[in-house]
Amino acid sequence: HGYTYSAHPVACAAALASLDIYRDEKLFERGKAMSDTFLDGVFGLRNLPQVYDLRGHGMMAGIQLTPGKAPGEKGSIVQRLLFKDGLHVKATGDALIFAPALVSEESDLDQMIDSLRRVLGRSDL
């Protein structure tokens, strides 16, 4: 018996197959090519009412929200609003963390940024 985190044969086979897919479909190269578009969109959100700070590298980004009434409350509200708008992000306290799939198209990134702009542009949160 093995655990999924301790060299379990099935987990290792899945990991090796995944690495083959990343190589064969050039997913890392694709992510690198899309990162400028993604980060330009993310950093273009900097002046919205709910944005306190932005961080990003490659195809990963974090948005620190302006403080709310209680710690984590605004992050939870924004996460729900984004989900209703079709975008899933992780909220950790009042920080949003997201990383689009490496197979994303530019139109997918545009939709993500548009959703963030709609929600983070609200002044009633």
Per-residue model confidence as pLDDT tens digits over 63-91: 999 999 999 999 999 999 999 999 999 99
CB atoms within 10 A of CB 34: 20
For residue 62, give the H/E element and its range.
Answer: strand 60-65
Q: By C-alpha distance, which of 98, 49, 94 is closest to 75?
A: 94
Mean pLDDT of 102-107: 95
Domain boundaries, the chain: 33-120
Which 3 state secondary structure label does DSSP give 79?
Answer: helix
CB 59 within 8 A of CB 31: yes
| pLDDT tens-digit readout, 20-72 | 999 999 999 999 999 999 999 999 999 999 999 999 999 999 999 999 999 99
Terminus-to-terminus CA distance in the chain, angstroms?
Answer: 50
And the tokens for 92? 């950790």
Q: CATH fold of 33-120, please? A: Aspartate Aminotransferase, domain 1 (3.90.1150)
Please report, as a single letter, which amino acid is at residue 25: E
